[in-house]
């Protein structure tokens, strides 16, 4: 299945596009998706510590715009938003 | 009465006049218009502009939640609230947010206006990338959102 990770704020620096895509064989928790994103940073950005910190401190949101916990399971093709620490106004 | 919107600055303007018109009513004896604008310095760096990013649907949802909880939390029942936030690039002095409120009495307008901006800072998924004189830019460190 495909997980489309929509990028916001500081996480936009992870790609030239507005999203990252991950091909995943079986259902996956947000906790494990985070590990996959960190692996991506290791491969693409030589383990850039700033990027890793952004991922570690980010929340995630579902397609219906709710913040989801690390135990949330992705079981089908889905969009997930990454929500780095916020600060508007 | 409630209005909330994200303004994509490439497509439209953020306008104080509209906010003023929206909250204007003889039911209310006090009104306040708060404007957030782009400041020229931050942490001793010379800022030339800010790019705002937003998760639009979640931001609007957070504005609605903040508005809806005011009855219970602040005991302010009669009110008009107008919130707009910009996304995109703004130069110095340009308006990033308008929070216009009107209530029957002055004390509650001050409380309401302050409550809304502080809650937005804590809860609404909006991000700032500052641009500096030396052509560098940086996403500002913010507050992590916690899952319930």
Question: What confidence tens digit (pLDDT) does each residue in B116-133 have?
Answer: 999 999 999 999 999 999
> Shortest CB distance from A67 goes to which of B121, B142, B148?
B148
Residue A50's domain spans which residues?
Answer: 13-77
Q: Is residue A64 in some structural domain?
A: yes
Q: B17: which 2 tokens?
A: 């006049």
- Chain A positions in Cβ-Cβ contact with residue B61 (cut-off 8 Å): 65
* pLDDT tens-digit map of A2-49: 999 999 999 999 999 999 999 998 899 999 999 999 999 999 999 899
| pLDDT (average), residues B58-65 | 97
Q: Pick from B81, B75, B111, B109: which is nearest to B97 by CA?
A: B81
A83·B55 Cβ contact <8 A: yes
Number of folded domains that form chain A = 1
Q: Is residue A89 in some structural domain?
A: no
Q: Is residue A67 in some structural domain?
A: yes
Share of chain B above pLDDT 70, in %: 99
- Chain A positions in Cβ-Cβ contact with residue B144 (cut-off 8 Å): 57-59, 85-86
Measured distance between the N- and C-terminal CA atoms of chain B, rounded to whole angstroms: 28
Q: Is B44 left (phi over 0), alpha (psi -120 to 50) or beta?
A: left
Q: Which residues pair with B33 in a beta bridge?
A: B100
CATH of the domain spanning B2-139, picked from 3.90.1170.40, 3.90.1170.50, 3.30.2010.10, 3.40.50.10490: 3.90.1170.40
> Within 13 Å and on the Cβ side, how many CA atoms surround B68?
6
A88·B120 Cβ contact <8 A: yes
Chain B: residue whose CA lies nearest to A9: B127
Q: Does the CB of B52 have a partner CB in chain A at under 8 Å?
A: yes
Q: Is residue A53 in some structural domain?
A: yes
Report phi then psi at B16, rounded to 5: -65, -35
pLDDT at B148: 60
Strand-pair category, B2-8 with B80-91? parallel
Q: Where are the domains of chain B?
A: 2-139
Q: Is residue A24 in some structural domain?
A: yes
Q: Does the CB of B55 have a partner CB in chain A at under 8 Å?
A: yes
């Amino acid at each position: 299945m495909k997980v489309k990770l929509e990028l916001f704020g500081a996480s936009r620096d992870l790609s030239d596009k507005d999203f990252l895509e991950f091909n995943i064989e079986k259902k996956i928790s947000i906790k494990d998706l985070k590990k996959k994103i960190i692996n991506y940073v290791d491969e693409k950005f030589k383990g850039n510590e700033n990027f890793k910190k952004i991922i570690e401190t980010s929340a995630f949101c579902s397609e219906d715009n709710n913040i989801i916990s690390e135990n949330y399971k992705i079981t089908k093709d889905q969009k997930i938003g990454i929500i780095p620490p916020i600060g508007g106004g | 009465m409630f209005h909330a919107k994200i303004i994509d600055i490439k497509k439209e303007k953020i306008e104080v006049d509209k906010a003023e018109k929206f909250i204007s009513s003889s039911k209310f004896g006090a009104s306040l218009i708060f404007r957030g604008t782009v400041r020229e310095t931050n942490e001793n760096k010379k800022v030339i502009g800010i790019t705002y990013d937003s998760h639009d649907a979640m931001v609007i949802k957070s504005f609605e939640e903040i508005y809806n909880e005011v009855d219970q939390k602040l005991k302010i029942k009669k009110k008009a609230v107008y919130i707009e936030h910009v996304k995109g690039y703004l130069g110095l002095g340009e308006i990033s947010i308008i929070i216009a409120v009107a209530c029957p009495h002055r004390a509650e307008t001050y409380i309401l206006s302050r409550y809304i901006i502080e809650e937005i800072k804590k809860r609404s998924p909006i991000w700032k990338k500052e641009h500096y004189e030396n052509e560098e830019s940086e996403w500002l460190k913010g507050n992590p959102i916690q899952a319930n």
